[in-house]
Structure 1
Amino acid sequence: MKSSIRNTLTALALGATLFGVAACSKPQQNVTVLTGGTSGIYYPIGVGITQIIDKNMPDVRSSVQATKATVENVNLIEAGRGEVAIGLADTVDDAYKGNKEIGFDKPLTKLRAIANAYPNYVQIVARADSGIKTLADLKGKRISVGAPKSGTEVNARTIFRGAGMSYDDMTVEFLPYAESVELMKNRQLDATLQSSGLGMAAYRDLAATLPIVFVPVPEDVVKAIGNTAYQPGTIPANTYDGQTEDVPTVKIPNLFFTSADVPEDTVYQITKNIFEHLDQLVTAHAAAKVITLENAPKGLPIPLHPGAEKYYREKGLIK
C-alpha cells in the first residue's frame, strides 16, 4: 500500500515538474534572414547575422536564404516570408512609396528599417581587351547589369540615364554576379555592372583570372542623377588584383530592414545583438567594417521599427 502511495506521489511530482517546464518554456521563434546571391556580399553578411542570433537569442532559430537581392527581399518581407533582410536604400524607398516605374504597382507599407548598414559601390568591370575605359565606350558592347528588376539593375538604369545613355545603346544581359563573371571569362561579355560592397568574391575571382579594367562613374554623372541616395564614392586602389588606382564611382547605402508585423521585442533583440557583436559581422565579411552604431538610425528612407527605435533610444542616439 505504501509503495503504491509513493509511486502515485512520484508520478504526480514528475507530472507537475514537466507541466512547470512546459508552462515556463517559450515556443521557439523562427527568423529567416533574406540576402542575395551566394557569390555577393549580402549572403555572408546574412550568415553572420544568423550566427549572432543563434549564439545570443536562445529562443530563436535562424536561417539564411539566398535570393535575387533587394527587389525580391522587399516583396518577401511584405508577404511575411522573412523577418530580416538586406537591401539597397533607393530600391527599398521605391518599394515603400510604390514606384510603378521600378515595378512596384502599390506601396509596400509593412517595410520597416532596422539600421543603415554599409554602402554598396557600383562596380563596372570590363575585360582589358574590350577597349572599354569610359561609360561612353560601353555603347555597342555586350554588358550584364544584374538580375532582372534587382537593386543592381535599378542602379544600372539610373546611372546610364545620368550619363545620357540607355539600354538601347548596348546589348544587355540581365544576370547576377556569378553568371556574369563566367560569361566574361568565356569572352561572351565585354563588361558587367554590379552593385555590391567592396571586395566581393566574384570580382576577386575574375581579377585573378584575366586582365580587367574598372570603368569610372564621374562625379558629374552622380550629380545628374539627382537622387540623394546616389553619392560620390571611390573604389580604393588595390581592392582587386591589378587595380592599381582609385576609381571614382557611385555609392548607395544598404539597409537592414524588417516588417511591421515582426514583434517589437524580437527586433529589439536582433538590433541589440548585431551592434553588440559587430566584430563577428566583420569576421563574416570585411564590408561590415564601416557599419557603426552612431550611423545606424540616420538617413533612413522608411520608418524605423519600434524595436530598433527602442534600442537606439537606450543608447542615446534618438531623443
Structure 2
Amino acid sequence: MNRTGTGRRAALGIGLAALAGALSGCSDGPAPGPPLRLATGPEGGPYNAFGKALARAVTASGRGVRLEPVTTAASVDNLRLLREGSVELALAMADVAEDAALGREPFTAPLTTLTALARVYVNYTHLLVPADGPVHDVGALAGRPVAAGAAGSGVQVVAGRILRDPGRAGGAEAPRERALGLAESVTALREGSVDALFWAGGVPTPALAALARERPLRFLSLDDRVGPLRERHGPVYSAVTLPAGVYGLTEPVGTVGVGNYLLARRDVPDGAVGELLRVVFDRWRELMGEVTAGARLEPRFAISTGRVPLHPGAVAHYRSVYD
C-alpha cells in the first residue's frame, strides 16, 4: 500500500474505536479488527522489508490485530504521517523520533501523541568511497558531491549532521549533499556522479555488499564523530563497529550507531499494542533476519527508547511478561 490521503485520516477515530471494542469484548482472545497502518519505508529498503515481515507474522499468529504496511520515504515522512493520523504505527530512527517528540527541527512542534513500543535494532552508519579515490576522511569531502540519503529519510538527518559538523575547518567548502535513496546512491557512486555514499542500516546491507563485490570500496571511519553528535543531540548516537570480513573489510571500521524504534500513536488501544508486541518477541529472529545479521531483541534493549515515552500498552506488556 502507498501513502494514504486525508480520506483515511477521517476514519481514524472510528477505526480505533472499533478496534478497541473488538479487543475488549472477547474473552477467548481479540477478534480481528480494522488493520493498523504501519508506515515503513521505500520499496526494497529495510523498513519496508521489516514491515512486510511483521505484517505476515501478525497474520500467521491468529491474534486479534492486523497490519497494513504503508510505503513511505522513511523516518521523517513516517513521523509526519503519524502526526496527521494517516497511520497508527511507524518505524523511525531514534534521532528523528526524539526530534519529533521534542519539537526540534525538522519538526515545528512536539508530537505529543507519539509513543514507542520497542527499540528493535541498531542502524550502522556507512560512509563509503571508491578505494582508488582521493577521499580518506570526512574532511576530504569538502566541495564534493555526496549521496546523503533520500528526502524525508533518517539517513539524510544523520548524514547532514555529520557533514555539517560545526568543527569543520574555517572557510572549508561544505560537501554538496544530494538527496538520493539507496538504489540511486549506489548507481551514482558506480557512475562517478557522487564521490561518497551515506547509508544507515543493518550489516550487511545487501545492496552495498553487492557493490563491494563489484568494485573495491573504502569505508571511512566515523569514530571521531560519535562524541560530538552525542554532545549536541544526546545518547541516541553510539559507537559501533563494522566488523572485519563484512563487505570484504580486512579490519574493523568504527562508526555511528542509531537505534530504530517501532512507534505508535498514543490512542492505539492497549490491547492491540500488547498483541503486537507478543508477535514481535515471538518472531524476532525472523524479523531481524530481514534487516541485520546477528541482532537479538531483548526486553532490556527494547525498552530503551530515550525521550520517547513507552505506550501504556507496551508498559503493561513488559511488566506482565518480564517482571
TM-score w.r.t. the length of structure 2 is: 0.83
CA drift of 1:306 comes to 1.1
In structure 2, distance between residues paired with 1:30 and 1:182: 36
Alignment of 1:282-297 (within 5 A): 282-287=288-293, 289-297=295-303
CA drift of 1:190 comes to 1.1
Residues 288 and 92 of structure 1, relative CA distance in 2, 3 Å threshold: farther
Which among 88, 92, 102 is matched to residue 87 of structure 1? 92
The corresponding residue for 1:151 is 154
CA drift of 1:149 comes to 4.2
CA drift of 1:268 comes to 0.9
Which among 202, 213, 227 is matched to residue 223 of structure 1? 227
In structure 1, distance between residues paired with 2:296 and 2:285: 11
In structure 2, distance between residues paired with 1:51 and 1:27: 15
Which among 70, 74, 99 is matched to residue 79 of structure 2? 74
For the Cα contact (< 8 Å) 1:163–1:224, is it kept in 2?
Answer: no
For the Cα contact (< 8 Å) 2:285–2:296, is it kept in 1?
Answer: no
Amino acid at match of 2:59: D
Amino acid at match of 2:56: Q
Asked if residue 176 in structure 1 is aligned to residue 185 in structure 2, the reply is no
For the Cα contact (< 8 Å) 1:144–1:189, is it kept in 2?
Answer: yes
Superimposed CA distance per residue, residues 276-317 of structure 1 (whole angstroms, 9 cap, x where no aligned partner): 221221343434723222311124321111111111001235
In structure 2, distance between residues paired with 1:296 and 1:272: 13
Which among 205, 219, 242 is matched to residue 235 of structure 1? 242
Residues 316 and 28 of structure 1, relative CA distance in 2, 3 Å threshold: closer
In structure 2, distance between residues paired with 1:251 and 1:284: 18
Asked if residue 263 in structure 1 is aligned to residue 299 in structure 2, the reply is no
Residues 299 and 32 of structure 1, relative CA distance in 2, 3 Å threshold: closer
The corresponding residue for 1:132 is 135
Alignment of 1:102-141 (within 5 A): 102-141=105-144
In structure 1, distance between residues paired with 2:194 and 2:221: 18
Which among 269, 276, 287 is matched to residue 281 of structure 1? 287
CA drift of 1:171 comes to 2.1
Asked if residue 305 in structure 1 is aligned to residue 308 in structure 2, the reply is no
TM-score w.r.t. the length of structure 1 is: 0.84
CA drift of 1:38 comes to 2.8
> Which region of structure 1 is more displaced relative to structure 2, 106-115 or 161-170?
161-170
Q: RMSD over aligned Cα, in angstroms?
A: 2.2
CA drift of 1:257 comes to 0.7
Superimposed CA distance per residue, residues 17-47 of structure 1 (whole angstroms, 9 cap, x where no aligned partner): xxxxxx9894632122221223332222212
Amino acid at match of 1:211: P
Larger CA Rg, structure 1 vs 2: 1
CA drift of 1:251 comes to 0.5
Which among 37, 47, 52 is matched to residue 47 of structure 1? 52
Which runs of 5 or more structure 2 residues have no equivalent in the other structure? 1-24
Superimposed CA distance per residue, residues 65-95 of structure 1 (whole angstroms, 9 cap, x where no aligned partner): 2211110111111222223221111110111
In structure 2, distance between residues paired with 1:316 and 1:299: 17
For the Cα contact (< 8 Å) 1:45–1:288, is it kept in 2?
Answer: no
CA drift of 1:64 comes to 1.8
Superimposed CA distance per residue, residues 206-239 of structure 1 (whole angstroms, 9 cap, x where no aligned partner): 21222211011123x2112212111111111122
Superimposed CA distance per residue, residues 2-23 of structure 1 (whole angstroms, 9 cap, x where no aligned partner): xxxxxxxxxxxxxxxxxxxxx9
Which runs of 5 or more structure 1 residues have no equivalent in the other structure? 1-22
For the Cα contact (< 8 Å) 2:32–2:63, is it kept in 1?
Answer: no
The corresponding residue for 2:20 is none
Q: Percent identity?
A: 30
The corresponding residue for 1:210 is 215
Which among 36, 43, 61 is matched to residue 38 of structure 1? 43
Amino acid at match of 2:61: N
Aligned partner of residue 224 in structure 1, secondary structure: helix
Q: Moved runs in structure 1, 4+ residues, more than 6 A? A: none
In structure 2, distance between residues paired with 1:27 and 1:218: 48
Asked if residue 65 in structure 1 is aligned to residue 70 in structure 2, the reply is yes
Amino acid at match of 1:98: G
In structure 2, distance between residues paired with 1:147 and 1:284: 20
